[in-house]
Amino acid sequence: MSLENLRQVKILAFDVFGTVVDWHGSIVGEVRQMQLDVDAADFVRAWRAGYKPAMARVMSGELGWTRIDDLHRIILDDVLAGFNIELDEPARVQLNLAWHRLQPWPDVVSGLHRLNTRFTTCSLSNGNLSLLADMAKNAGLPWDLILSAEVFKAYKPHPDTYLGVANVFDVRPEQVMLVAAHHDDLAAARECGLRTAYIERPAEFGSDQLKDVSPPAGSGNDLHMSDFHALASALEVPE
């Protein structure tokens, strides 16, 4: 895209699960520590696979507004049953909070600090506010503002989330750039007029199931970057 258009961007909004933090590696580590009799990588992928269907139940109206913490717990109980794992209530509560303790990819903390010198940065995650606040505190993520589906009472990819960011900061949609490792999220943001940057996270689903992160033909993203420092350089932020 033209540098002129990029220079209009004021707000960088970041997808979180997979883009900022390594949910798979982090939760696999916790499951292994618990010594559950299960393939940790498969277990965690099954837990995550329940995420979009659970949000769809909320957005269809079948469930009232429900925090991701509560959706994660509903899915966890199903997945534990599916894998025939016995786990008492305190252990379930503790495991469910693993999403509050996800670890960032190695470029993230220094990359965000660098981006913060020129832009206002915020999360735009389907994760709930307390999950994102705990994660930021634990991992040292220097958000200028934590925004969540919980603020807009709609889950991505609903337009209210992307346009909600522009509204909060009182800017035009094209002054907001969504940064994400997922093409569906970016496509929905583009439909709302946001700028978009794809970030390559090949190991999002584990190093045994690498995902294709090559630039698709005509994806329409303004940028396609290897990590947050490459993004910062493309946006002309000094190192």
> Footprint of a copy of itself on this chain (CB under 8 A)?
67, 69, 116, 120, 122, 128-130, 132-134, 136-137, 144-147, 150-151, 168-170
Least separation in angstroms between CB 137 and a copy of itself = 5
Least separation in angstroms between CB 72 and a copy of itself = 13
Measured between alpha carbons, how far is 22 from 227 in angstroms, rounded to an integer? 13
Q: Measure CA 179 to chain center.
A: 9
Least separation in angstroms between CB 151 and a copy of itself = 5
Least separation in angstroms between CB 150 and a copy of itself = 7
Judge contact between 71 and 58, C-beta under 8 A.
yes
Smaller CB separation from a copy of itself, 148 or 196: 148
DSSP 162-207: HHHHHHHHT--GGGEEEEES-HHHHHHHHHTT-EEEEE--TTTT-T
Smaller CB separation from a copy of itself, 145 or 163: 145
Smaller CB separation from a copy of itself, 18 or 164: 164
Smaller CB separation from a copy of itself, 103 or 116: 116
Smaller CB separation from a copy of itself, 161 or 221: 161
Measure the N-to-C terminal CA separation of the chain; round to a whole number of Å. 22
Alpha carbon separation from 214 to 27, 180, 222 (Å, rounded)? 26, 14, 15
Q: Which of 196, 169, 166 is nearest to 184 (CA)?
A: 196
Phi-psi group of 140: left, alpha or beta (phi > 0 → left; psi -120 to 50 → alpha; rest → beta): left
Least separation in angstroms between CB 83 and a copy of itself = 26
Least separation in angstroms between CB 160 and a copy of itself = 13
Smaller CB separation from a copy of itself, 99 or 169: 169
Is residue 183 classed exposed, middle or buried when 0-12, 13-18 and 19+ CB atoms within 10 A define those classes? middle
